[in-house]
Structure 1
Amino acid sequence: MTHTTIPEFAILGHPNEGKSTLVSTLTEDDTVRVSPFPGETTASRTYTVTLNDAPLIRFVDTPGFQAPKKTLAWFRSYTGAPERILDAFLAEHQDDQTFTDECELLAPVAKGAGIIYVADGSRPVRQNDLAEMEILRLTGLPRMAVINCKGGNEKHLAAWRAEFRKTFNAVRVFNAHTAAIKDRLDLLAALMTVDPEWEPALSHVVTALNEEWGHRLRRSVDAMAELLRFALTHTVSVTLRDDTKKGETEKKLAARFQEDLRKKEARTREQIRRTFRHSVFDVTMPEGSVLQQDLFDKRTFKLLGLTQKQLATAAATCGGAAGAVIDLAAAGHSLGLFTVLGSLGGAASAFLGERRIARAKVSGIPLGGQELTLGPCRNLQMLFVLLDRILLYFTLITSRSHGKRDDAALAIEEAALSDGGTSRHLSSSDKKAFQELFNAAGKQDSAGIDNAMADIRAVLFARIN
């Protein structure tokens, strides 16, 4: 392989060892069919990793060995040129149903694909496994063994390692169900050590994927920052012609404001999900998750660990929400909707309730009507709730292997929130960046907002990198 060659690797092994899961993880393709039942893959299929619409590396998902002992017997009896052993086997057995799967899985290797052999390290080594290892040794081709310990069970890991060291150029432990991006890149980098001829092409692949990862982080930061900007600058307005319908109109306006923020948060999540190539997994959170709670639900704030004292201090530090305050989440509650709190200071406003989100102004317009305007958001706790939720979503997306099919999202969330949300652990300089954004937004200072957003992006990038 040269740096201009597109590397290709065949994923080989016994049925139901995790071959398709490994392919799904390495290619970041969660549409690869993964089944708990052996023998689901009956024909080889090639999956290509692309970058800027150009192929970068290919992996071939193959059927499992079905007749390894008979295949090994043939390999041992072969007396022709060693480099022709695969071609000879395929030519002799291509119409023999006994060796249908063996022909299917060895065909890409015969055409030049590298060998990655997958075994489940949670079970003991069996005679069929030893036969498969010996078949691949007799090909004389460079090969790597990957031990995929299902369910994290490493009971037989040492035995697998000992056997693989006898017949493989490299051995790696790689849990395709839990592997993060770094694990994936490390495995690709390790392939370079298997054969010096693979190094130029694989070096190019690893460099390109590392650069692409940086691009993804920056795109994610841009999406997060835009969500925060939207929350602090968005307004909704309606023309009121009939004072008798003011209560009904105010209620609809509040609902619009809430829904706009919900939709913006949902669009930001979708941007991040697609940035990391999750086309199937959509983080449908189980009951009790902070991401399952409505953005304006009091439980959301509680789950993120925000206390009244912290909120009051934050609001006072950043200028707080003064003037008329609208309670967007209190419809049907004793506080009432559009409760006017008067000209209270920021700290006092924050103490009055965890769900006071925005302020409104009423300005006269021609023809005797009124224009009711709701927003922009002038409560710092809303900003931090959005920040915590989108950072948590980012963690869930980037921590999830594309080969995983079950859902352990809640466990990841609980670990991430074990000591409260991100906003509780901001450094002084980070807090200053959010303070400047909050203040600039309150003054409707476009230039100030742009300057603050540059600092916010730097804070976010440092958080997720």
Structure 2
Amino acid sequence: MTNTTIPEFAILGHPNEGKSTLVSTLTEDDTVRVSPFPGETTSSRTYTVTLDEKPLIRFVDTPGFQAPKKTLAWFRAYTGAPERILEAFLAEHQSDKTFADECELLAPVAKGAGIIYVADGSRPVRQNDLAEMEILRLTGLPRMAVINCKGANEKHLAAWRAEFRKTFNAVRVFNAHTAAVKDRLDLLAALMTVDPEWEPALTHVVTALNEEWGNRLRRSVDAMAELFRFALTHTVSASLGQKESKEEAEHKLALRFQEDLRKKEARTREHIRRTFRHSLFDVTMPEGSVLRQDLFDKRTFKLLGLTRTQLATAAATCGGAAGAVIDLAAAGHSLGLFTVLGSVGGAASAFLGERRMARAKVSGIPLGGQELTLGPCRNLQMPFVLLDRILLYFTLITSRAHGKRDEAALAVEEAALADGGASRHLSASDKKAFQALFTAAGKKDAPGIDAALATIREILFARING
């Protein structure tokens, strides 16, 4: 490999050891077929990691060894040139069904692919494993061993390490079912230590992927910031029909406002999901998850956002702007979710505006009447609740290995919310940035909104890049 070569690695190992799972995680491709049943992969398939639509690195998912002892016997009996051992094996056994899988998995190695051997470290080392290791040693090619411990069982980890150190240039523990993006980048960086000839090409790959990771974080932060902007500046309006009461019109507007904000939050989540290349995983959380609760549900505002004391302190610094609050959660029907803070005079008119339209007639039909406007949101708690929800979603997405196929568990969420959401642990200066956004939005101060969001972007980037 050179710095102009696209690196390629063949993922080898016994059936059902996690080869396809590793490929899925390394390529961030959750469409890679992963099955709990051995022998599902019967032919090699190449998966390419691209950046700006250009190939960056390739991984070949291969079938598992089926006849390692017979293959090893042939390798040991081989007397030709050592560097041609793979070529000779393939030429002799290409049409032999007994060695069909061995030919399929060794073919990409014979063409120059690097070797990554995967073993399940949760089980003991067996004779077939030793045979496979020896086959790869006899190729004389640089190789890395990856111990993929399924679950949390590391009982046999030391034994695997000891065996691998005898025959491999590098050994790494890497759980492809739980690995986050940082773990993936660390593994790719470790490949540079296997062979000096791999270093130039892999240096380029790792540098490019690290830069691209930073770009993903910035795109996610931009999407989050726009969610906050929308939540605090959005308005909805409607004309009051002649036969419609003001209360009915207000109720419909409140429902519209809620739905618009739900949709904006959903679009922000989808943007983050696409940014981190999850096409199958949609974070459909089980019963009990706060992310499964509606944004305007009572439990959402109980678990997330600032505490009552923190909210009172924040509202005091916002002055009268924070006094104009309305209970969005029930479209005007109080659920006791919010405490009215500060000055309450004109609270309803600050959120639910109305104006008379000029009356006129066209062909005897009267036009005009009353127009109602709902918004912008004057509930100081709203941006903090949204912050907690979107950061929790971000954590679930970025901690999710692409090779994982089961439903998301509550463990990540429970850990993240063990002591309240992120907003309750913001520093005083960080809270002030959200308060500044709230105040600027209330004044319709566009430059102030932009300035507050610029600071919030910095806060968010530092947090998710930590």
Aligned residue type for 1:280: L
Deviation at 1:277, TM superposition (A): 0.3
Q: What CA distance in whole angstroms lies between the structure 1 residues aligned with 2:61 and 2:351?
A: 57
Aligned residue type for 2:222: D
- Kept after mapping to 2: 8 A contact 1:326/1:358: no
Q: What CA distance in whole angstroms lies between the structure 2 residues aligned with 1:348 and 1:416?
A: 34
Deviation at 1:333, TM superposition (A): 4.9
Q: What CA distance in whole angstroms lies between the structure 1 residues aligned with 2:158 and 2:252?
A: 65
Deviations 1:324-349 (A, max 9, x none): 6543333595679xxxx9xx973376
Deviations 1:351-379 (A, max 9, x none): x9xxx998111112112511100000111
- Kept after mapping to 1: 8 A contact 2:255/2:331: no
Aligned residue type for 1:81: A
Aligned residue type for 2:448: G
Aligned residue type for 2:215: H
Q: What secondary structure is seen at the aligned counterpart in 1 of 2:285?
A: coil
Q: What secondary structure is seen at the aligned counterpart in 2 of 1:366?
A: strand
Deviation at 1:17, TM superposition (A): 0.2
Partner of 1:185: 185
Say if 2:9 is the partner of 1:9.
Answer: yes
Q: What CA distance in whole angstroms lies between the structure 1 residues aligned with 2:109 and 2:209?
A: 25
Q: What CA distance in whole angstroms lies between the structure 2 residues aligned with 1:104 and 1:93?
A: 11
**1:323 and 1:23, CA in 2 relative to 1: closer, same or farther beyond 3 A?**
closer
Q: What secondary structure is seen at the aligned counterpart in 2 of 1:179?
A: coil
Partner of 1:397: 397
**1:244 and 1:74, CA in 2 relative to 1: closer, same or farther beyond 3 A?**
closer
Say if 2:353 is the partner of 1:361.
Answer: yes
Partner of 2:362: none
TM-score by length of 2: 0.94
Partner of 1:201: 201
Deviations 1:381-429 (A, max 9, x none): 0110001100110010001111111134411011001110111111122
Deviation at 1:308, TM superposition (A): 3.0
Partner of 1:447: 447
Say if 2:338 is the partner of 1:346.
Answer: no
**1:357 and 1:307, CA in 2 relative to 1: closer, same or farther beyond 3 A?**
farther
| Structure 2 counterparts to residues 274-293 of structure 1, below 5 A | 274-293=274-293
Q: What CA distance in whole angstroms lies between the structure 2 residues aligned with 1:79 and 1:12?
A: 25
Deviation at 1:86, TM superposition (A): 0.4
- Kept after mapping to 2: 8 A contact 1:152/1:175: no
Say if 2:67 is the partner of 1:72.
Answer: no
Aligned-pair Cα RMSD in Å: 2.2
The worse-fitting range, judged by mean Cα deviation, of 423-432 and 307-316 is: 307-316
TM-score by length of 1: 0.94
Q: What secondary structure is seen at the aligned counterpart in 2 of 1:161?
A: helix
Deviation at 1:307, TM superposition (A): 3.4
- Kept after mapping to 2: 8 A contact 1:327/1:358: no
Aligned residue type for 2:213: W
Aligned residue type for 1:88: A
Partner of 1:119: 119
- Kept after mapping to 2: 8 A contact 1:357/1:379: no
Say if 2:251 is the partner of 1:251.
Answer: yes
Q: What CA distance in whole angstroms lies between the structure 1 residues aligned with 2:458 and 2:349?
A: 26
**1:420 and 1:357, CA in 2 relative to 1: closer, same or farther beyond 3 A?**
farther
Partner of 1:417: 417
- Kept after mapping to 1: 8 A contact 2:325/2:379: no
Q: What CA distance in whole angstroms lies between the structure 2 residues aligned with 1:201 and 1:211?
A: 16
Deviation at 1:319, TM superposition (A): 3.1
Partner of 2:82: 82
| Structure 2 counterparts to residues 307-326 of structure 1, below 5 A | 307-319=307-319, 325-326=325-326
Partner of 2:462: 462
- Kept after mapping to 2: 8 A contact 1:312/1:348: no
Aligned residue type for 1:461: F
Deviation at 1:323, TM superposition (A): 7.1
**1:335 and 1:106, CA in 2 relative to 1: closer, same or farther beyond 3 A?**
closer
Aligned residue type for 2:92: E
Q: What CA distance in whole angstroms lies between the structure 2 residues aligned with 1:129 and 1:297?
A: 54
Partner of 1:160: 160
Structure 1 stretches of 4+ with a deviation exceeding 6 A read: none
Aligned residue type for 2:280: V
The worse-fitting range, judged by mean Cα deviation, of 391-400 and 314-323 is: 314-323
Partner of 1:33: 33
The worse-fitting range, judged by mean Cα deviation, of 448-457 and 192-201 is: 448-457
Structure 2's unaligned 5+ residue stretches are 360-367
Q: What secondary structure is seen at the aligned counterpart in 2 of 1:318?
A: helix
Deviation at 1:243, TM superposition (A): 6.1
Aligned residue type for 2:127: Q
Aligned residue type for 1:347: G
Deviation at 1:311, TM superposition (A): 2.5
The worse-fitting range, judged by mean Cα deviation, of 298-307 and 318-327 is: 318-327
**1:333 and 1:431, CA in 2 relative to 1: closer, same or farther beyond 3 A?**
closer
- Kept after mapping to 1: 8 A contact 2:45/2:60: yes
Q: What CA distance in whole angstroms lies between the structure 2 residues aligned with 1:323 and 1:192?
A: 59
**1:457 and 1:241, CA in 2 relative to 1: closer, same or farther beyond 3 A?**
same
Structure 1's unaligned 5+ residue stretches are none
Aligned residue type for 1:84: R
Deviations 1:101-137 (A, max 9, x none): 0000000000000000000000000000000000000
Alignment: residue pair count: 455
